Structure 1
Amino acid sequence: MSLIVQTIMLIVGAYLAGSISSAVLVCKLRGLPDPRTEGSGNPGATNVLRIGGASSALLVLFFDMLKGAGPAYLAYRLGVDPVSLGLVAIAACLGHIFPLFFGFKGGKGVATAFGAMAPIGHYLALFLMLTWALIVLLTRYSSLAAICTAILAPVYTWWLDDRFVIPVAMLSTLIVIRHKDNIKRLLSGNESKVSRKRRRKT
């Protein structure tokens, strides 16, 4: 099998894996409202936290990260070049953002992107999680935490293993672009904060 065909297959597989909406499935299995129509309307872990509580949000976070980590790790083990690795990781994120199986209405792709970065090394995964958690604790803005973590991710990668700066920078750029509306709301003071309060059923 040629490297080009192998890379194309990895990209397609990553997109299909990303298209499995963890938020929608977890909410459906737990009898929660559809995250695409409740709360912020974003089918991601933060919105599931708002409408379903911490345990549901953690499940979504785990599976969303796995969607990125799995294809990226497989591509890494197969020895693809850094740019192709970045394309595989972005394909998983695009699957999450525009899911084939869920009407092309997906989330921001943050957890999937960070999951795709995680196989680079344990320290990078740790730094990403700590950065995100610290900013959320200090500001209670999930979007701000995601943006800041994305901006710092290439810096961490350059310090830990500079071979993967390009694919990480590609993912970081995608995350920042996906948060353009959040950036506008943050600047205007209209961005919603993270709440752990579960919505009562009626």
Structure 2
Amino acid sequence: MTTLLLVIFAYLIGSFPTGVIIGKVFFNTDIRNHGSKNIGATNAERILGKKAGFAVSIIDILKVFLPVFIYRKLTNDMNTSALIGIAGLLGHCYPIYLKFKGGKGVSSFLGIVFGLNFYVGIITLATWKVLKHITNYVSVSSMISCFISSFIFLYLNGPSVVFFTLFIGSIFIVYLHRTNIKRLLNGTENRVKK
């Protein structure tokens, strides 16, 4: 019962629509009406600027990181911590406050990884940055980085609940990027501006 309540709580926190709030409060702009119409950091950066995009990314990481990190520190239960993180990820992607229309979950996924293991989080973030520089595609670097992080946990802990949770989470991230994949195949995906 306690775990169920924690999962619900993590989902509700994860549902906090950071990009929409920052856009409306500070820029009088609803980013859902512009660009990719996504509420995440990438669209926020394109529409509102780099500082706003960075702020959205950090808050979207923190809103999932904190429940995972606090629970792990209190209980040392990595498996339940990962499940709590997935609840926060689902909250971001299907937020109850926005009629279940949310973001693509990359920052929130990173929040799970940082909450479980700070060093793996650093590696995942560094991998994302390197891949973004090499490919010039945020979507490609995001999808690959998520999978790499899950396999790092496989290396560290073996075929654990944490690995399978993050691996399934990575597949979910790919599913959410299905329109990006179509654009990549068509050669119309947005590249990173230099």
User: What TM-score do the two structures reach when normalised by structure 2?
Assistant: 0.90
**Deviation of the 1:131 alpha carbon:** 0.9
Larger helix share, 1 or 2: 2
Cα-to-partner distance string for 1:29-75 (whole Å, 9 max, x where unaligned): 22152111111111111111111111101110010001110121233
Q: Give the unaligned 5+ runs of structure 1.
A: 197-202
After the TM superposition, which of the residue ranges 140-149 and 157-166 deviates more from structure 2? Answer: 157-166
Q: 2:133 aligns with which of 137, 144, 151?
A: 137
What SS does the aligned partner of 2:75 have? coil
Whole-angstrom distance in 2 between the partners of 1:187 and 1:93: 27
Q: CA deviation at 1:194?
A: 2.9
User: Bigger CA drift: 167-176 or 22-31?
Assistant: 167-176
Q: Which amino acid aligns with 2:65?
A: A
User: Which of residues 60, 65, 68 in structure 1 aligns to 2:64?
Assistant: 68
Higher deviation after alignment, 175-184 or 49-58:
175-184
Q: Which residue is equivalent to 1:112? A: 108
Could you tell me whether the CA contact under 8 Å between 1:20 and 1:101 is conserved in 2?
yes
Q: 2:117 corresponds to which residue? A: 121
Q: 1:152 aligns with which of 137, 148, 155?
A: 148
8 Å CA contact 1:49, 1:195 repeated in 2: no
Return the letter of the residue paired with 1:23.
Answer: G
Contact 2:20 2:39 in 1 (8 A): yes
What RMSD, in angstroms, separates the aligned Cα atoms of the two structures? Answer: 1.9
Asked if the contact 2:8/2:87 (under 8 Å) is kept, the reply is: yes
Is contact 2:81–2:116 with CA below 8 Å preserved after alignment?
A: no
Identical aligned residues as a percent: 33
Tell me, what secondary structure is at the counterpart of 1:36? helix
Q: Secondary structure at the match of 2:47?
A: helix
For 1:78 and 1:181, the matched residues in 2 are separated by 39
Please identify, of 55-64 and 93-102, the stretch whose mean Cα deviation from structure 2 is larger.
Answer: 93-102
Structure with larger RCO (C-alpha < 8 A, sep 6+)? 1
Q: Normalized against structure 1, the TM-score is what?
A: 0.87
**Runs of at least 5 residues in structure 2 that lack an aligned partner in the other structure:** none
Given that residues 124 and 160 in structure 1 are in contact (C-alpha distance below 8 angstroms), is that contact kept between their aligned partners in structure 2? no
- Give the letter aligned to residue 142 of structure 2: A
> What's the counterpart of residue 199 of structure 1?
none
1:83 to partner: Cα distance:
4.4
Amino acid at match of 1:173: I
Q: 2:190 maps to what in 1? A: 192
Kindly provide the amino acid, as one letter, of the partner of residue 154 in structure 2.
W
Indicate the residue corresponding to 1:90 in structure 2: 86
The number of aligned residues is 192
Query: Structure 1 pair 11/42, CA: closer, same or farther in 2 (3 Å)?
Result: same
Moved more, 23-32 or 64-73: 23-32
Distance 1:122 1:90, change over 3 A: closer
In structure 2, the CA distance between the partners of 1:80 and 1:10, relative to structure 1 (3 Å rule), is farther
Please name the residue that 2:43 is paired with. Answer: 47
User: Which amino acid counterpart does residue 62 of structure 1 have in structure 2?
Assistant: I
Q: 1-side partners of 2:74 and 2:2: how far apart?
A: 9
Give per-residue Cα distances to partners, 1:120-145, cap 9 Å, x unaligned.
22220111111111111122211111
Tell me what 1:177 maps to.
175
Q: Measure the CA separation in 1 of the matches of 2:67 and 2:175.
A: 22
> Greater shift after overlay, 112-121 or 166-175?
166-175
